[in-house]
Amino acid sequence: MNTKKFLLQEKDIPVAWYNIAADMENKPRPILNPATKEPVGEEDLYPLFAQELARQELNQTDAWIEIPDEVRDMYKIWRPTPLVRAYGLEKALDTPAHIYFKNESVSPVGSHKLNSAIAQAYFCKKEGVTNITTETGAGQWGAAMAYAANAFGLELAVYMVKVSYLQKPYRRSVMQTFGAQVIASPSMSTKAGRKILTGNPNYQGSLGTAISEAVELAIQTPDCKYTLGSVLNHVMLHQTVIGLEAEKQMEMAGEYPEIVIGCFGGGSNFSGISFPFMRHKLKAGKDIRIIAAEPESCPKLTRGEFQYDFGDEAGYTPLIPMFTLGHTFSPAHIHAGGLRYHGAGAIVSQLRRDGLMEAADIPQLETFDAATLFARTEGIIPAPESAHAIAVAIREARQAKEEGNRKVILFNLSGHGLIDMAAYDQYFAGDLMNYELTDEDLEVNLAGLDRIITQ
């Protein structure tokens, strides 16, 4: 194992988040009120989100938004995170490519999710909120929000997708240790949950359903706001600290990434690593490939349709312009629970539509092959989500070898997999399988879309 880290100092933690919407020529389309089909304004979002977060959500003019000192101070608990040259992986692949990864797994909860959880908890607290709700898939976001809620003295209820609740009991325990209440979703505690359970008592849940439940509880509880770990613009914004640090660190390494890769669920870590580099593309015409790594079983960016759709299963949220598989899509039970979401955020969807980025869909077994090779060559056991980014990096490094081409590849290691070991056990036992989404299933789900975008 032969590894080189590029380390920054606390003073190098960014002082502002990067708001890519300000630099986009084609702005993302507005989110719409489902009843009126009119654009949603800031005030319309206040019942759901802290006001400052609502403002960030709709801000398309300020490229830089200052990070409050209180948030930056908490970032210091684990940031800046290391950038690592993956010599061990390069050697194992015998590739001329140079592979770098940003190691976001070093946070106290083991993933990048804390970057936004702390910001959201901070703004809620500042505005007098006492209770918050959220949803979580694999539990990375829920654990981060539990940490942040505890840090700022907020009560938190987390709806955790049932399949992950059962697959990943340790992550539930982490949330409970930080004092959060965790409910398996779908649950009987909300109308949305009851409706689903009535129709399908064995339904194992989806992020879309969990969001419905968390939104419903937030709306019905006084002094309560809803928080979300991905998809929304303000979440992408907070995550840009990842790429902003990586930019400086790649300079330290004396290289520039020709390919930037992030795994893709709703877009949080993908945007975090890639938007600061996308900025070079938008503003300086830099030649750089940006690739979203998604599961073959949940391929919204590869095979979904660009259309207005709900962010949740029950249709409580505004309509978002997104590449979507349909908001009632029920993804296969892959272990990368954080990637089991039907749609992509509005900004990423626009960038994809404008041909500014690519997507790759990866079968589950390939992701665990990649994860195991990475663990044995770089010494970090990756989360099943992050393994998707590793798999694409490996594909690109192998192609570099075929072409005899010295590419520089950067990917984001969004989290570690120490709480996902049951998935590794199944992989080693030969009990994991691939789930390819059939054209039929895709069509059935897309057929339900109310097609507002006609061109």
State whether residue 453 is helix, strand or coil.
Answer: coil
Bond into 80 cis (ω within 30):
yes
Rg (CA), the chain: 20
Question: What's the closest the beta carbon of residue 383 comes to a copy of itself, in angstroms?
Answer: 12
Nearer to a copy of itself, 173 or 434 (CB): 173
Residue 144 binds to a copy of itself (criterion: CB under 8 A): no
Residue 369 binds to a copy of itself (criterion: CB under 8 A): no
Residue 41 binds to a copy of itself (criterion: CB under 8 A): no
Distance, CA of 286 to CA of 67 (rounded, Å): 27
Distance, CA of 349 to CA of 420 (rounded, Å): 29
Q: Residue 264's closest CA among 410, 412, 398?
A: 412
Question: What's the closest the beta carbon of residue 90 comes to a copy of itself, in angstroms?
Answer: 15
Residue 147 binds to a copy of itself (criterion: CB under 8 A): yes
Helix (H) or strand (E) holding 358: strand 358-362
Contact 206, 185 (CB under 8 A): no
Interface with a copy of itself (CB under 8 A), residue from 16, 197, 219, 422: 422
| E strand spans, 110-169 | 131-136, 155-161
Residue 380 binds to a copy of itself (criterion: CB under 8 A): yes
Residue 173 binds to a copy of itself (criterion: CB under 8 A): yes
Residue 342's contacts (CB-CB under 8 Å, 6 or more residues apart) are 206, 207, 208, 298, 300, 304, 309, 324, 325, 326, 327, 328, 329, 331, 445
Interface with a copy of itself (CB under 8 A), residue from 178, 264, 270, 329: 178
Kindly identify the residues of this chain, within the stretch 96-115, that bind a copy of itself according to CB under 8 A.
106, 108, 110
Nearer to a copy of itself, 122 or 159 (CB): 122
Interface with a copy of itself (CB under 8 A), residue from 34, 68, 96, 179: 179
Contact 297, 366 (CB under 8 A): no
Question: What's the closest the beta carbon of residue 77 comes to a copy of itself, in angstroms?
Answer: 5
Residue 444 binds to a copy of itself (criterion: CB under 8 A): no
Interface with a copy of itself (CB under 8 A), residue from 22, 32, 375, 442: 375
Distance, CA of 175 to CA of 72 (rounded, Å): 23
Strand-strand pairing, 408-413 and 64-66 = unpaired
Residue 453 binds to a copy of itself (criterion: CB under 8 A): no
Question: What's the closest the beta carbon of residue 104 comes to a copy of itself, in angstroms?
Answer: 14
Residue 8 binds to a copy of itself (criterion: CB under 8 A): no
Residues in the chain: 455
Nearer to a copy of itself, 32 or 422 (CB): 422
Nearer to a copy of itself, 149 or 290 (CB): 149
Residue 181 binds to a copy of itself (criterion: CB under 8 A): no
Distance, CA of 452 to CA of 440 (rounded, Å): 22
Residue 434 binds to a copy of itself (criterion: CB under 8 A): no
Residues that bind a copy of itself (CB under 8 A): 1-3, 5, 7, 9-10, 73-74, 76-77, 106, 108, 110, 147, 150-151, 169-171, 173-174, 176-179, 372, 375-376, 379-381, 418-419, 421-422, 424-425, 428
